[in-house]
Each structure stands twice: as C-alpha cells, then as structure tokens.
C-alpha cells in the first residue's frame, strides 16, 4: 500500500453518507471519503460508525480519533476527548491485528455529533 497524501484537503465541498444497517449514518467529507477509497479503508469507517459514533453525546460532542499503524502492520485506533485542560481522556480503543494501511503511519480524524455524525480530517474542521 502506498502512502495516502491528505495534505490537499481544507474544508469540504461535499458530504457522503456511509450507511450501515441498524446504526446512525456516518457522514464523510471529501477528505475522509478520499482516504477510505485510496487506502481501501471503508472498514475504518465501519468501526467509527459502530464503535466511536455511539459515544457522542451532549457532553462529548467531538471525538478526536487517531489511527497508528505499527511496523508489523498491526494498528490501534484511539478516540479521545481532545484536551479539556487535564490532558486527553481516552474514550475508546480498538486494536487491529493486521491492516494493509502503510506502515508505519499515523492518521488523524475528527468526529462530530449533532444532527449528523460527521467524520472529517483535522484540516477540514
């Protein structure tokens, strides 16, 4: 797998529904849709929709998600509340035994709640 260059994404022009049965739709921005397509990572969107998005509430309106891919192609997905003054609090962690995302690498996303659950790149916030 080649590196996925996400540096050209600032804001978004379009929104795309990522639909799964029995869970609320996850809305992807131009950057996150590009990432999912180029990296073959719609599985990550499934994990965000089923494991991270349900954590959104009035108290946790935003979740910062980081995907770290290790040299052995294992990965860890960590969602935090950012840093509200006392350092980030981990809300959820998901370990992945194997991924074909480029190794080693790190990808960051922001998940916001409200009317829609929107997953975006930090540069699209």
In a domain, 60, yes or no: yes
Burial state string for 43-63 with b = 16 or more CB within 10 A and e = fewer than 16: ebbebbbeebbeebeeebeeb
How would you classify the pairing of strands 117-120 and 26-28? parallel
Instruction: Name the more confident of 117 and 82.
Output: 117
Give a yes or no: residue 8 inside a domain.
Answer: no
Residues 37-96: pLDDT tens digits?
999 999 999 999 999 999 998 777 899 999 999 999 999 999 999 877 788 999 999 999
Cα(120)–Cα(33) distance, integer angstroms? 9
Asked, for residue 12, whether it belongs to a domain, the answer is no
- What is the number of H-type helices and E-type strands within the chain? 2, 7
Structural domain boundaries, residue 76: 25-124
Total-model pTM: 0.92
Q: Which residues pair with 119 in a beta bridge?
A: 28, 111
- Reading the block at residue 21, the tokens are 């049965």
The number of distinct structural domains making up the chain is: 1
81-102 per-position pLDDT tens digit: 987 778 899 999 999 999 999 9
In a domain, 14, yes or no: no
Tokens matching residue 115: 């009317």
Per-residue pLDDT averaged across 4-21, rounded? 89
DSSP 8-state assignment for residue 123? G
* Residue 114, in any domain of the structure: yes
Query: Domain holding 85: CATH number?
Result: 3.10.450
3-state helix, strand, coil in the chain (%, to 5): 20, 30, 45
Residue 6 lies in a domain: no
């Amino acid at each position: 797998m080649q590196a996925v260059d996400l540096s050209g994404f600032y804001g978004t022009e379009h929104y795309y529904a990522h639909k799964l049965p029995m869970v609320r739709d996850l809305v992807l921005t131009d950057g996150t849709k590009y990432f999912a397509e180029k990296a073959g990572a719609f599985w990550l969107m499934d994990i965000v929709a089923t494991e991270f998005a349900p954590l959104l509430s009035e108290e946790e309106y935003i979740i910062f998600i980081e995907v770290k891919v290790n040299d052995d192609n294992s990965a860890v997905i960590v969602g935090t509340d950012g840093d509200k003054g006392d350092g980030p609090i981990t809300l959820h962690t998901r370990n992945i035994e194997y991924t074909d995302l480029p190794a080693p690498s790190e990808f960051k996303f922001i998940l916001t709640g409200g009317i829609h659950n929107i997953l975006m790149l930090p540069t699209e916030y």
